[in-house]
Amino acid sequence: MDTSYWAKQGDKPLFPELEWSQPETRQQAGKLLIIGGNGYEFKAPANAYGDALEAGIGTASVLLPNSMQKVVSDIFPEAEFAPSTPSGSFAQSALAPMLDLSVGADGVLLAGDLGRNSETTVLIESFLGKYDGRVTLTKDAADVLVQQPLSILQRKDTLLVIAIGQLRQLGNAAHFPRAITTDMGLVQLVDNLHEFTKRFPLAIVTRHQDQYVVATSGQVSTTPHGTNEPVWRLATATRASVWWLQNPTKLFEALTTAVNQ
């Protein structure tokens, strides 16, 4: 079995040159737009904002639904706001401000806590269809799209940071002929992601059997994560977004480095 596409990262980074060449000034370190939250929850975008600053982003901005404006504006002055539904999630009319803000960003992170609202789902699908830049999706921002993935399967510059259960749903919805299960072996998962990312232009980061698994364009890397922390997707997605936009022509190297931080 040829596994030349599989890179294994251990104690030493596979791509140390990326760490050595990190931007030295904020002006060179990129601009990230973080989108998330609903009328009852904004923990995900707030945490992503802090994680992005810690990861070395130059500028981070946050877009929340305006249902949160009275509560959040004083404690989170960095936030901007877009129209919301009666239930407090993003409304379809939030598309224009999303696109306006994304024009000034090097990448967008859909951080989650969006709420399960059909109008918000339509909005996210519309945004992905109209915005052609780098997008990372995680948590519930990825949930609906892994079940109904037509809007992302052929979209370039798209990263999914998802749990193995979400990956299984994605494979089923995409009619991928190889089953992805929570109890499969690591070798089989690596081989499946090798084939999946040769077929579709998505980049994927998941976690399985104490390993982070990165896959893009048929290349796969694994990295021991050394922790049983169950809450990992958002912090990983944020780091991955930052490293990606700082190394836009080295996606595989950037994601592999990000999961090792």
- CA–CA distance, 193 with 190 (Å, rounded to integer): 5
What does the pLDDT read at residue 92? 96
What does the pLDDT read at residue 225? 84
User: How many Cα atoms are found within 13 Å in the side-chain-facing hemisphere of 122?
Assistant: 8
Quick one: average pLDDT of 145-163? 92
Q: Give yes or no for residue 155 having a pLDDT over 80.
A: yes
pTM for the whole thing? 0.95
- Please give the CATH superfamily to which domain 6-258 belongs: Ribokinase (3.40.1190.20)
What does the pLDDT read at residue 55? 94
pLDDT band per the 50, 70, 90 thresholds, residue 150: confident
* pLDDT tens digits, one per residue of 49-78: 999 999 999 999 999 999 999 888 888 888
What does the pLDDT read at residue 228? 63
Six-digit token string for 135: 């997008």
User: How many Cα atoms are found within 13 Å in the side-chain-facing hemisphere of 108?
Assistant: 25
Average pLDDT score over the chain:
93
What does the pLDDT read at residue 108? 98
Q: Give yes or no for residue 25 having a pLDDT over 80.
A: no
What does the pLDDT read at residue 66? 94
Closest CA to 236 of 218, 248, 220, 254: 254
- CA–CA distance, 125 with 80 (Å, rounded to integer): 21
CA angle (171, 144, 225) in 5-degree steps: 65
Quick one: average pLDDT of 118-143? 94
What does the pLDDT read at residue 159? 98
Give the phi and the psi of residue 20 in degrees, each rounded to 5.
-70, -25
Q: Give yes or no for residue 252 having a pLDDT over 70.
A: yes
Q: Give yes or no for residue 261 having a pLDDT over 90.
A: no
How distant is the alpha carbon of residue 131 from its chain centre?
15
What does the pLDDT read at residue 229? 65
Contacts with 129 (C-beta within 8 Å, 6 or more apart), sequence order: 151
User: How many Cα atoms are found within 13 Å in the side-chain-facing hemisphere of 37?
Assistant: 29
What does the pLDDT read at residue 120? 93
What does the pLDDT read at residue 65? 95
Quick one: average pLDDT of 171-190? 94
- CA–CA distance, 82 with 93 (Å, rounded to integer): 8
Quick one: average pLDDT of 100-117? 94
CA angle (201, 154, 134) in 5-degree steps: 65
Domain positions in the chain are: 6-258
Closest CA to 145 of 160, 163, 164: 160
Quick one: average pLDDT of 91-106? 96
